[in-house]
Amino acid sequence: MLEGRGMSRDLKVAYDPEADVLVIKAGDGRPSYGEELTDQLIIHYNERGEPIEIEVLDATELLAKLVAAVEGSKRAKVRLDVQA
């Protein structure tokens, strides 16, 4: 799935607890430029314009929100299944 978008299957994940930054790298290339998608999410691209790195700022906060959203959707599904 990721390979078609320039990303390899060999992802490397690093977390810096002091900075609260999560970096997900795909491949060994160096980023040529980055695009800030949100205040907390930056996508870095190589010289061919392929995404090679995802940088998550304030990672703990963003991942906590993601977990809460997933848990909320699971609870909603369970309620729908019970009502059906």
Q: Let me know: does 54 contact 43? Beta carbons within 8 Å.
A: yes
Strand partners, 42: 36, 55
Q: How do residues 40-70 score in pLDDT, each as one tens digit?
A: 999 999 999 999 999 999 999 998 988 898 8
Residue 82's pLDDT band (boundaries 50, 70, 90)? low
Count of beta carbons in the 10 Å neighbourhood of residue 63:
12
Residue 28's pLDDT band (boundaries 50, 70, 90)? confident
Arithmetic mean of pLDDT over the chain: 84
| Residue 40 to residue 56: CA distance in whole angstroms | 6
Instruction: Tell me the residue type at 17.
Output: P
Read off the pTM.
0.69
Angle at 75 between CA 70 and CA 77, to 5 degrees: 95
- Where are the chain's structural domains? 3-83
